[in-house]
Structure 1
Amino acid sequence: MGAAQSGVSKVKIFAIGSGFFALMLIWTFYNAYMPLILGDFIESRGIRGMIMGLDNLFAVLLIPIIGTWSDRINTRLGNRLPFLVVGMPIAAVFFILIPYGAMVSLWVLLVVDIIFLLAMTIYRAPVISLMPDHTPPAYRSTANGIINFMGGVGAIVALFGLSTLYGIDRTYPFLLAGLLLFFAFILLYFIVDRNPPYADTTANDMEEVQAQGSLKGMFTKILKPDFRGEFYILLAIFIYFIGYAAVEALFTVYAVEHLGMADDAAGFTLGFFSLSFVLFAIPAGMIGTRIGKAPAMSIGLLALPVVFFLIPLLPAIDGLIFGLDHLTLLPVVLLIGGIFWAFINVQAYPLVADLGGTNKIGFFTGLYYLFSMGSSIIAPGILGLMMDIFGSPALFYGSALTFLVGFYFLKKGSRIIWHHSSG
């Protein structure tokens, strides 16, 4: 994608990608190891999952409002950067403090955790909105592939690199990740446009903007018959993210407590899922540009459940495939799963962003994160409780089901939108 052809500055896309790199580095490591840190205080996987879910409540409540606010605000720093200036440095500091909070007590840990998550919430929607702000619609899927590639590199660094540091000293990876987040903030501050070419900052009386006065108003708008197709697509994202968020948050618990892995080895193994996601992120973006975002997502939504169904069966086929045991086969299966997750995740945000046009990007960015992160409130608790009741393999069986249901609603929503556009 040449800069002259697309009107996109590669330097600016790289700077935006660095923000996504730091975002994914932090979240991937947090989701992999926070449940294990909580395990020092709490035995139940369901309760640990509920705490992980409640952590996302601030995000669900505030991200849609902040996304729309960043559409409307107009300062000398533009409309997105003020949120980055506040959120990113605070998030960096309090992420560094998490392991020290755990050394004191559960309650200190939770207070540090909540402040960290609140700071992440302040800047998350604005930093993601920077991509469509700087990219014409026709190239968003490819640009998102590049940015997801960098985010995937962040996930790889978290699970391969930071996991190794975690095995040496629990505080080291938190310190390094916090510093990288602050460095990403510096890049964004000095490189991205204050008034990007594809952003339509609005302070007028547009109906969608006025609907942002409350979550109730937002739901009232999206539930109207004219938005039924968009709602079903967002519902599909909500449902399949239940499965993804649960696996992301509880895989290390499954690996440590069911398979008997060491903490750092569990995170390292999960890294193979992220590795294949990174390797396939850009090709998946190109495939989405060629065949369409929804068809590309459908491939992943049908294939990834097969992978998840297979994972609990691996111990039963020990030695039957080239004499390999299940701990050796698990990274291979996760590599395959990451490819299909790329089909889904690279397309999802550009698909939602395209629903709104240039002057509603923040609105639909907020809705995207409302539905996807809304899943994170309930997913670890529900699947963690299923693990408590039915055993650890229930994590993957339950997750697989959510992707199949998500496929159904994606097809239903896409059909309605196609019908309206052709009619």
Structure 2
Amino acid sequence: MLIWTFYNAYMPLILGDYIESRAIRGAIMGLDNLLAVLLIPVIGAWSDKIDTKIGNRLPFIVIGMPVAALFFILIPYGATTALWILLVIDIIFLLAMTIYRAPVIALMPDHTPPEKRSTANGVINLMGGIGAIIALFGLSHLYGIDRSYPFLIAGLLLFFSFILLYFTVDRKPPYVESLKEDTEEAKAATSFIKGIGKLKHQQFRGHLFILIAIFLYFIGYAGVEAQFTVYAVEHLRMDESAAGFTLGFFSLAFVIFAIPAGLLGSKMGKAPMMLTGLILLPLIFISIPSLPLLSNLFPGINQILLLQIVLFTGGIAWSFINVQAYPLVADLGGKNKIGYFTGLYYLFSMASSIVAPGLLGLFMDIISHPSLFYGAALSFFIAFYFLRKGSIIIRKNKTEPPSNTNNYSV
């Protein structure tokens, strides 16, 4: 998460040395998600079957992690040479990250008894949030000193992680199971293969609307995540390191409020909490382009501090949405279709991450930089409509008596 968070924040700025179009830069930023959906399920299945002296996961980790660390370190140096060299380094880095992601994810269930995996997954999510915060607060500061420093330190941390894993991972772990359904990408691919066409049936109409809502609001989130530093540097004339540091307040708020948001969702209902966030977050996004005007009217207000406060409130609103989303979709499947709807959740959310940076970048190219937030806000408002409509349909279906042609219940 430290690597990915820093990459998503600063790679668009590095690409900006050669590519003016925000849309093209965004399309390149969506490449990692495309590679993930295409390759990770295959690599995960391969790591289930392979048998070597160092086990079935480590061969992929031995190749992927050191190569990813090396080529991540090389990114700023490639940026000083030529665009084609930078792109080659970037593609090799993305491929290396893809090679080891599924096997690393599988290490937790390989080493953890089933009854403790929920707790272990909570620890993983916490560590991921800490990694994101360190990337945006710590590495961003180093970026302002020298562009190569954060890449060097993050790459060395990744290599150190590889050494640590190599000497601590059991060659024959006690709880080895199939990886087929363990990764987000594998679940997405499996659901697509099983037949996304099922969603066109009348009994799944409400479910489809909820999934469309997830696709739409992830366009807004993923687009802002990838293009915020571009907006801050090119439009607000902020220092590059300050741009990443400022974005960190969004992640910080999400980490702090994730557990409270989950508790509120349990008390008030998942859909109502999401609908609340889908109203609050776009209103917050719409306010961001007006902040420079506010600071001009009131010279005593620090524009960057004001933006950080607004993004922090945005992170709270995002926790209302994102914490509830997967449990809501999992509930749609009842007891018998949880895996299927889990796969659909990841399919719709990851599809957004592929297209969002390029789409909102296109808005920035054609209209203006502030259209990043207006486009993101629009995606949230439309998502509000689909989520509300889908929730109403499902609630109505639950209150109707079952028939022979439609006996699916939630």
Please classify the TM superposition score into its range, dividing by the shorter chain length: 0.7 to 0.9
Q: Is the 8 A contact 1:211 1:218 kept in 2?
A: no
Conserved 8 A contact 1:273-1:337: yes
Taking the aligned partners of 1:154 and 1:258, their CA distance within structure 2 comes to: 28
Aligned match of 1:387: 364
- The one of 13, 18, 33 aligned to 1:56: 33
The verdict on how the C-alpha distance between 1:194 and 1:409 changes in structure 2, with shifts beyond 3 A counting, is: farther
Partner Cα separation in structure 1 for residue 65 and residue 357 of structure 2: 26
Question: Pairwise mapping of residues 270-281 of structure 1 onto structure 2 (< 5 A)?
Answer: 270-281=247-258
**Equivalent of 2:72 in 81, 88, 95:** 95
Letter in 1 for 2:366: I
Aligned partner of 1:326 in structure 2 is: 303
Deviations 1:278-300 (A, max 9, x none): 22223223334444444433332
Equivalent of 1:402 in 379, 383, 387: 379
Supply the distance in 2 between the matched residues of 1:224 and 1:339 (Cα, whole angstroms). Answer: 36
State the AA in 1 paired with 2:281.
L
Instruction: Say whether the 8 Å CA contact 1:234–1:368 is kept in structure 2.
Output: yes
Q: 1:306-325 residue pairs with structure 2 within 5 A? A: 306-318=283-295, 323-325=300-302
- Which amino acid letter does the alignment assign opposite residue 377 of structure 1? I
Structure 2: runs of 5 or more not aligned: 399-407
Are 1:33 and 2:10 an aligned pair?
A: yes
1:162: which partner in 2?
139
Q: How do residues 321-360 of structure 1 correspond to structure 2 at under 5 angstroms?
A: 323-352=300-329
Letter of the 1:300 counterpart: G
Root-mean-square deviation (CA, aligned residues, Å) is 4.0
What is the SS of the residue equivalent to 2:79? helix
TM-score normalized by the length of structure 1? 0.77
Give the TM-score of the pair, scaled to structure 2. Answer: 0.79
Separation of aligned partners in 2, 1:49 and 1:184:
29
The answer to whether residue 117 in structure 2 is matched with residue 150 in structure 1 is no
Letter in 1 for 2:10: Y
In structure 1, which of residues 112, 115, 121 is the aligned counterpart of residue 92 of structure 2? 115
In structure 2, the CA distance between the partners of 1:59 and 1:312, relative to structure 1 (3 Å rule), is same
Question: Which residue among 271, 289, 297 is the counterpart of 2:274?
Answer: 297
Distance in 1, Cα, partners of 2:140 & 2:188: 43
Residue by residue over 1:192-219, the C-alpha shift from the partner in whole angstroms, topping out at 9 and shown as x without a partner, is: 994549x67779xxxxx99968956553
Instruction: Tell me by how many angstroms 1:409 deviates.
Output: 2.9
**Structure 1 position 107, deviation (Å):** 0.9
How far the C-alpha of 1:88 sits from its partner, in A, is 3.5
Contact 1:63–1:370 (CA under 8 A) maintained in structure 2: no
CA distance in 2: counterparts of 1:127 and 1:364, whole angstroms: 24
| Aligned-partner Cα distance in 1 for 2:192–2:62 | 25
Q: In structure 2, how many angstroms separate the alpha carbons of the residues matched to 1:114 and 1:359?
A: 40
Question: Could you say if the C-alpha distance between residues 344 and 322 of structure 1 is closer, same or farther in structure 2, counting changes exceeding 3 Å?
Answer: farther
CA distance in 2: counterparts of 1:112 and 1:400, whole angstroms: 34
- Secondary structure, in 3 states, of the residue corresponding to 1:104? coil
2:402 matched residue in structure 1: none
1:311-333 Cα distance to aligned partner (Å, 9 max, x none)? 01112222667941433311110
Could you give the per-residue CA deviations for residues 240-286 of structure 1, whole angstroms, max 9, x where no partner exists? 11111111111111111111111111111111111212222232233
Farther off after superposition, 372-381 or 37-46? 372-381
Give the Cα separation in 1 of the matches to 2:221 and 2:187: 33
Q: Name the CA shift for 1:309/1:212 in 2 (closer, same or farther; >3 Å).
A: closer
**Cα deviation 1:174-205 (Å, max 9, x = unaligned):** 122123334445566636994549x67779xx
Instruction: Point out the more displaced range, 95-104 or 356-365.
Output: 356-365
Give the Å deviation of 1:70: 7.6
Cα deviation code 1:345-374 (max 9, x no counterpart): 233345455666999887666544432232
Q: Which residue of 2 aligns with 1:372?
A: 349
Amino acid at match of 1:254: Y
Checking the alignment, whether the CA contact within 8 Å between 2:61 and 2:103 is kept in structure 1 is yes
Question: Does 1:249 find its partner at 2:221?
Answer: no
Deviations 1:119-155 (A, max 9, x none): 3234445655777896979995x87665433222211
Contact map agreement 1:353 1:364 (CA 8 A) in 2: yes
Q: 2:189·2:347 contact (CA, 8 Å) conserved in 1?
A: no
Deviation at residue 159 of structure 1 after TM alignment: 1.1
**Structure number, greater radius of gyration:** 2
The structural deviation recorded for 1:60 is 3.1
1:180 equivalent in alignment to 2:157: yes
Q: Which amino acid aligns with 1:60?
A: V
Is the contact between residue 206 and residue 394 of structure 2 (CA under 8 Å) also seen in structure 1?
Answer: yes
SS across alignment from 2:17: coil
Distance 1:374 1:325, change over 3 A: same
How much identity, in percent, do the aligned residues show?
Answer: 66
Partner AA of 1:345 in structure 2:
N
Task: State how far apart, in whole Å, the 1-side matches of 2:69 and 2:390 are.
Answer: 38
- With over 3 angstroms needed to count, the CA separation of the structure-2 counterparts of 1:211 and 1:413, relative to structure 1, is same
| Amino acid across the alignment from 2:351 | G
1:47 aligns with 2:19: no
Partner of 2:403: none
Number of residue pairs aligned between Structure 1 and Structure 2: 392
